[in-house]
């Protein structure tokens, strides 16, 4: 019960941090050439926000590993790399199609909180994908917490490298 409460607190911290991000970015807008207003967030802030959300997701997984009846011991984890890859690829395709010819961009303009939901969702999918490979590799030794730590480091390294590439 204690670990579930900690997981709920981490989810609430994600929600509060996204709300704070939205609240602080309301006054930080610049008019673009098309006449619309866009938010100005530095690249350092973007990396910090991504790292913060990934850290909260890391703690959610870590608290799950500390439970007596953890979901990380379920047999589905043997197939989770395939499942998370399929879900991730389908999500990216649907997001791109929905953004180009669908209503997603209109919805995001009306409800900016959708943008933060998409951000957290895709960060979760990326962490889940990396964790599922590491967990499957460590499955024989039953070291779920070690898999979570390694996945956290790999996820942050991935975003750190992407930060310098783009």
Over range 109-131, report the average pLDDT: 92
Q: What was the pLDDT predicted at 113? A: 85
Whole-angstrom CA distances from 20 to 16, 24, 117, 159 are 6, 6, 14, 22
Say if residues 37 and 31 touch (Cβ distance below 8 Å). Answer: yes
Instruction: State the residue range of the domain holding 73.
Output: 2-165
Q: What is the pLDDT of residues 55-86, one digit of tens each?
A: 999 999 999 999 888 888 888 988 999 999 99
Say if residues 105 and 99 touch (Cβ distance below 8 Å). Answer: yes
| The pair of three-digit structure tokens given for residue 118, joined into one six-digit string | 């998409």
pTM (predicted TM-score): 0.85
Number of domains, the chain: 1
**Range 24-29, long-range pairs (CB < 8 A, 24+ positions):** none
C-alpha–C-alpha distance, residues 96 and 82, integer Å: 21
Helix ranges (DSSP H) in 26-143: 43-65, 80-100, 104-110, 113-138
Burial of residue 89 (CB within 10 Å: 0-12, 13-18, 19+) is: exposed
How confident is residue 163, by pLDDT bands cut at 50, 70 and 90? confident
């Amino acid at each position: 019960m204690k670990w579930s409460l900690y997981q709920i607190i981490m989810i609430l911290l994600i929600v509060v941090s996204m709300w704070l991000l939205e609240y602080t970015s309301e006054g930080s807008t610049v008019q673009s050439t098309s006449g619309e207003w866009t938010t100005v967030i530095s690249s350092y802030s973007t990396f910090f926000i991504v790292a913060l959300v990934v850290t909260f997701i890391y703690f959610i997984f870590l608290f799950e590993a500390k439970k007596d009846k953890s979901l990380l011991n379920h047999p589905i984890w043997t197939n989770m790399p395939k499942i998370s890859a399929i879900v991730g690829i389908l999500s990216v395709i649907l997001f791109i199609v929905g953004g180009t010819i669908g209503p997603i961009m209109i919805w995001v303009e009306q409800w900016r909180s959708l943008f933060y939901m998409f951000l957290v969702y895709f960060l979760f999918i990326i962490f889940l994908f990396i964790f599922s490979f590491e967990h499957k590799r460590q499955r024989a030794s039953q070291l779920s917490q070690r898999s979570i730590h390694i996945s956290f480091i790999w996820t942050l390294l991935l975003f750190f490298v992407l930060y310098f590439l783009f």
